[in-house]
């Protein structure tokens, strides 16, 4: 964050700490600080931006509360990373009927680069003719195939991913995006819908056609509200349910 020290030259009626928060978010989006990086100290940031240390602290508190930054006592403030638990449990909300969240195993069925469809362009904000990387995989819970999952990624942000061996893709794709492409998923929007299994679902999940499934349509969002992934997961909830933690 070694930049011009006084960016607040034009009138802005938003609280100063929110303006500071926006500056930090812009620098995270530009990869000036990557997941796991240590930010400058609060006094140093205050000096660079020409604001009080209290303003910096309030801006950082907001980002910590949104899980974008992490404070380590005596060490400082770091850019958050997708640890295994956070990556899986923050976004994977299926539990067994006893309420236990389980670590899934994944098997990649296909990985390819293709021209985008109209729906993919709409979900990922792509231009006409834009390309996507498509991943199809099966996710197992307690060794049972439970989720048939289709993902679309903007190829211009994940250059070369289609050349990776399917076996290289881990369970925790969001962490993978961070480490290889420096793209952090910070939020996601989901739509849930009851559907019935088609032939493709039946083949991959070992069930009969027409079985009720839960479809989770999710768009993963990065910094500056940029869509990074569109994922449709069709889940056999015969022995599982979707759990939402309400605060």
Given this model, what pLDDT does residue 7 score? 66
Angle, vertex CA 92, rays to CA 87 and CA 95, nearest 5: 130
CATH architecture group of domain 84-242: 3-Layer(aba) Sandwich (3.40)
Q: Residue 151: in which H helix or E strand, if any?
A: strand 144-154
Domain assignments of the chain as residue spans, ordered by start: 16-79, 84-242
Per-residue confidence at 11, pLDDT binned at 50, 70, 90? low
Identify the pLDDT of residue 145.
94
Q: Which of 96, 168, 103, 101 is nearest to 135 (CA)?
A: 168
Output the pTM of the full model. Answer: 0.77
Task: Please write the tens of the pLDDT for every residue from 15-65.
Answer: 898 899 888 888 887 878 888 889 999 999 999 899 999 999 999 998 888
Confidence band of 239 (pLDDT split at 50, 70, 90): confident
CATH class of domain segment(s) 16-79 = mainly alpha
Paired with 132 in beta bridges are 114, 154
- Rounded (5°) CA angle 198-204-210: 25
Contact predicate 218/230, CB 8 Å: yes
Task: Give the C-alpha separation, 143 to 213, whole Å.
Answer: 18
Q: Residue 82: which pLDDT band, with cuts at 50, 70 and 90?
A: low
Mean pLDDT of 177-192: 88
């Amino acid at each position: 964050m070694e930049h011009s020290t006084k960016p607040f030259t034009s009138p802005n009626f938003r609280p100063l700490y929110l303006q500071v928060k926006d500056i930090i978010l812009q620098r995270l989006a530009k990869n000036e600080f990557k997941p796991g990086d240590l930010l400058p100290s609060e006094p140093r940031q205050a000096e660079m931006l020409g604001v009080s240390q209290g303003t910096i602290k309030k801006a950082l508190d907001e980002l910590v509360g949104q899980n974008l930054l992490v404070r380590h006592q005596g060490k400082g403030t770091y850019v958050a990373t997708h640890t295994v638990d956070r990556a899986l449990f923050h976004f994977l909300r299926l539990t067994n009927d006893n309420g236990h969240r389980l670590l899934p195993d994944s098997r990649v069925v296909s990985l390819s680069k293709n021209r985008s469809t109209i729906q993919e362009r709409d979900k990922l904000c792509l231009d006409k003719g834009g390309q996507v990387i498509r991943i199809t995989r099966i996710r197992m819970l307690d060794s049972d195939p439970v989720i048939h999952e289709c993902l679309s990624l903007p190829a211009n942000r994940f250059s070369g991913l289609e050349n990776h061996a399917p076996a290289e893709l881990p369970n925790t794709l969001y962490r993978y995006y961070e480490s290889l492409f420096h793209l952090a998923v910070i939020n996601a929007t989901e739509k849930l819908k009851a559907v019935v299994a088609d032939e493709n679902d039946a083949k991959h999940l070992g069930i009969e056609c027409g079985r009720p499934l839960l479809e989770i349509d999710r768009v993963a969002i990065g910094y500056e509200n940029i869509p990074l992934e569109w994922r449709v997961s069709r889940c056999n909830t015969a022995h599982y349910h979707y759990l939402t933690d309400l605060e």
